[in-house]
């Protein structure tokens, strides 16, 4: 009887890890952000990476080589 119990527990853990949506606790394992601050910080980090990429391109290729989307992004962030 002991081996059956162990196998059942292993199966439940496996399914919980591989398919957490099958359990009510699924969101605990799939949630990307713990707090709204985490989400805000991730967005700011992404914005800064985009600005840095554009500024590096300006440094290496000149501002005339920016795409219209890059120019709009740089303008949007410079007004914040």
Reported confidence tier of residue 12, pLDDT bands at 50, 70, 90: confident
- Total H helices, total E strands in the chain: 4, 0
> For the segment 48-73, what is each residue's pLDDT rounded down to a tens digit?
999 999 999 999 999 999 999 999 99
| Number of folded domains that form the chain | 2
| Residues 38 and 73 occupy one common structural domain | yes
| Residues 45 and 77 occupy one common structural domain | yes
| Residues 61 and 76 occupy one common structural domain | yes
| Residues 40 and 17 occupy one common structural domain | no
pLDDT(74) > 70: yes
Whole-number pLDDT of residue 49 = 93
Whole-number pLDDT of residue 21 = 65
List the domain range (segments joined by +) for residue 72.
34-80
Neighbours of 16 (CB within 10 A): 15
């Amino acid at each position: 009887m002991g081996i059956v119990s162990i196998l059942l527990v292993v199966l439940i853990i496996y399914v919980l890890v591989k398919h957490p949506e099958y359990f009510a606790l699924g969101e605990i394992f799939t949630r990307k952000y713990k707090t709204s601050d985490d989400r805000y910080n991730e967005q700011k980090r992404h914005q800064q990476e985009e600005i840095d990429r554009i500024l590096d391109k300006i440094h290496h290729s000149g501002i005339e080589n920016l795409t219209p989307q890059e120019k709009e992004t740089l303008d949007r962030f410079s007004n914040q």
